[in-house]
Amino acid sequence: MNRNHLEMEVKFYLNDSASFEQRLRSIGASLIQPRTFETNLRFDTPNLELTRDHRVLRLRQDQGIYLTYKGPSQPGEAVAIRQEIEIEVNDFDSTRLFLEALGYQVNIIYEKWRTKYLLNDLEIDLDEMPFGHFVEIEGDDSVRIERMAAMLALNWGDRVTDSYIKLFERVKNNLHLDVQNLTFGDFKDYKVLASDLGLHPGDIVAYL
């Protein structure tokens, strides 16, 4: 994220995450966070004001605990761009109680495993979601992000700018799933394909 608190990123669905990670290492990417489990609580008002305004209030626990606000995404961009303000807190349960005392409630829980790399000052995250594997490229310039995607043999036309929550809503509709949260437990009995998410693997050209 840049100093103007703008998050600029793009993600790709991965057909072969293991081969992709090997390629990432082979071209000199530095591991900055080993595979780490994340729990995310997304909050909203009882009448879903934040969701309606395309804003996010999130409490995340991984190697630390972080409270995050995200503004609406800027329309018509090649990458996802939105304001992001994040602070580190030291007590997950107390922060949740604090938000609930202000009238917010947990709207959705979602989980992921994330591995972080750094290459040419861009953060490259490998995400294992309950519905598939993704790579996310984050930086402060959309042109550099697109060049990095090309360096990693990712098909730019298959990029994803939707959030994981939007993808969650899409797969629930497409597969008629009766699940409330995006957790590994909720998805353990389901096999989700890229097509179920309305996506095409971004690495398919590199590994066919």
Domain regions of the chain by residue span: 6-207
As a whole number, mean pLDDT of residues 115-143 equals: 97
Q: Specify which residues 90 forms β-bridges with.
A: none
Residue 77 has pLDDT above 90, yes or no: no
The CATH number of 6-207, from 3.40.50.2000, 3.30.1370.110, 2.40.320.10, 2.40.50.100, is 2.40.320.10
Q: Which of 192, 177, 189 is nearest to 133 (CA)?
A: 192
Q: Between the CA of residue 89 and those of 14, 28, 61, 62, 68, what are the distances in Å? A: 32, 33, 10, 12, 10
DSSP 192: -
**How does the average pLDDT of the chain come out, rounded?**
95
CA distance 93 to 191: 33
Whole-prediction pTM? 0.93
User: What pLDDT shows up at residue 97?
Assistant: 99
User: What pLDDT shows up at residue 76?
Assistant: 75
User: What pLDDT shows up at residue 207?
Assistant: 43
User: What pLDDT shows up at residue 5?
Assistant: 85
User: What pLDDT shows up at residue 58?
Assistant: 99
As a whole number, mean pLDDT of residues 68-91 equals: 94
Binned at pLDDT 50, 70 and 90, residue 125 comes out as very high
As a whole number, mean pLDDT of residues 119-141 equals: 98
CA distance 31 to 118: 7
As a whole number, mean pLDDT of residues 94-102 equals: 99
By percentage, how much of the chain surpasses pLDDT 70?
A: 96
Binned at pLDDT 50, 70 and 90, residue 2 comes out as low
Compute the 3-state secondary structure of the chain and give helix, strand, coil in percent, each to the nearest 5: 25, 40, 35
Check: CB of residue 50 under 8 Å from CB of residue 131: no
